[in-house]
Structure 1
Amino acid sequence: MKKWYYLIMMLVLALVLTACGGNSSNEEGSSSDNDSTMENEGSTEEGTTEEGTTEEGTKEEETAETAMVTLKDAEGNDVGTAEITEENKGVTINLQATDLPEGTHGFHIHETGKCEAPDFKSAGGHFNPADVSHGTETDDGPHAGDMENLEVSADGTVDKEIMNEKVTLVEGEDNSLLKEGGTAFVIHAGADDMESQPSGDAGDRIACGVIEK
């Protein structure tokens, strides 16, 4: 009788141990599956972050470089602003000015970033890195700094967008407006005839602004 009793007890113990071992294996398997799922989710999130960073970097590279210029008259009064935006080819200049004499006025980029009143001669001559003649009406012109005339209305204002394909805001280039020593915008008292040397016979300099970032 005792023999059978011990055999039954050993059988029950064996069954219990077997059941516990199976549960342990299932729990370990579930834990492993959970760990794998978390790792995959982590990888996905990291991948998304990296992709987002790449897209952000691309957007920053595509962002156009700009420069803002304030123009002053001979008395030191602010008379206008010009925003320069780097384009695929050249730059766009958005000029807004007030308190200017009515009529047609020469508008140029000059070679030195200094605007010392009252005559603004400190700005030097026209920006001319290619060393060519002045004006669109000459065979080997124009200067990189030559631009179309401004038409100032009777109320002394002008709002104009100008495209200049001969200059850039990219530093280090020969035709960069941000070269060492700088450059400047100058508005003249008269119209540029686009052919007289060396500056189009546009008269006195009545407003000037240094080009900088």
Structure 2
Amino acid sequence: MKKLLATSAVLASAIALTACQTTPNKQDLPAEIQPALKAQIQTVDVSKAHLGKMYLRPVQGGVQVFGKLTGLNPGSTYAIHIHENGTCANKGKDAGGHFNPLNKQHGHPSTPESHAGDLPNLTADANGVASINFVREDISVDPRVANTVYNRAFIIHAGADDYVSQPAGNAGDRMACGVIEEY
């Protein structure tokens, strides 16, 4: 009987902890708000420290990019871009340049004349947490089309994107990376 009670207590604790998690679970979300793609973001140094997750889902007018990163320097601003190749090898360098299927100039993501991989800068709060929630009109989560972001990579840079300097916004070294894959 004591063994059964102990097992029940462990099971109840596991269920309670699962209910407290903040990461979306596919089975818990209505189909219309489920992410289609995700990326685990890790530093590119030897520690491979986990910083957070990014999600992508189709919405009216484009693809919503949303997620949260932790462990950043409080008050610091970081560039985030979607890069060409779905790899984080070689300290993120093998991810290539910004995703740019229409061969546009680098610029602010709210302008139509910017790389498809250009996203707004992230600024960490006093706790080192930064979030993004942005709709990009010229990308797709459909792996069958040319502007898909499937099997590409998010790169977090050590500095802010100035949205002007070519070809990549003078954002500094690649400090974190995550391959975009199915949710």
Output the TM-score relative to the length of structure 1.
0.65
Distance 1:155 1:205 in 2: 22
Aligned to 2:96: 124
Aligned to 2:85: 112
Describe the SS at the equivalent of 2:132: strand
Aligned to 2:54: 82
- 1:196 Cα shift? 0.4
Gaps of 5+ in 1: 1-58
Aligned to 2:27: none
Gaps of 5+ in 2: 1-29
Query: Aligned letter for 1:71?
Result: I
Q: Is the 8 A contact 2:108 2:120 kept in 1?
A: no
Matched, 1:183 2:156: no
Describe the SS at the equivalent of 1:187: strand
Aligned to 1:34: none
Q: Is the 8 A contact 1:132 1:140 kept in 2?
A: no
Q: Is the 8 A contact 1:106 1:150 kept in 2?
A: yes
Which structure: greater helix fraction?
1
| Deviation by residue 1:1-36 (Cα, 9 ceiling, x = unmatched) | xxxxxxxxxxxxxxxxxxxxxxxxxxxxxxxxxxxx
- 1:154 Cα shift? 2.6
- Mapping of residues 46-195 of structure 1, within 5 Å: 66-73=36-43, 74=45, 75-102=47-74, 103-116=76-89, 119-136=91-108, 141-178=113-150, 182-195=151-164
Distance 1:106 1:81 in 2: 15
Distance 1:136 1:65 in 2: 25
Aligned to 1:200: 169
- 1:77 Cα shift? 1.4
The aligned length equals 149
Distance 1:154 1:63 in 2: 30
- 1:172 Cα shift? 1.6
Distance 1:76 1:64 in 2: 27
Cα pair distance change 1:193/1:88, threshold 3 Å: same
Q: Is the 8 A contact 1:185 1:209 kept in 2?
A: yes
Q: Is the 8 A contact 2:83 2:117 kept in 1?
A: yes
Describe the SS at the equivalent of 1:122: helix
Cα pair distance change 1:164/1:99, threshold 3 Å: same
Distance 1:140 1:64 in 2: 27
- 1:149 Cα shift? 0.6
Larger radius of gyration: 1
| Deviation by residue 1:128-186 (Cα, 9 ceiling, x = unmatched) | 0001111139x9830000011111113211122121111110122111112xxx21001
Distance 2:168 2:82 in 1: 11
Greater RCO (CA < 8 Å, at least 6 residues apart)? 2
Identity of counterpart residues, as a percentage? 38
Query: Aligned letter for 2:107?
Result: G
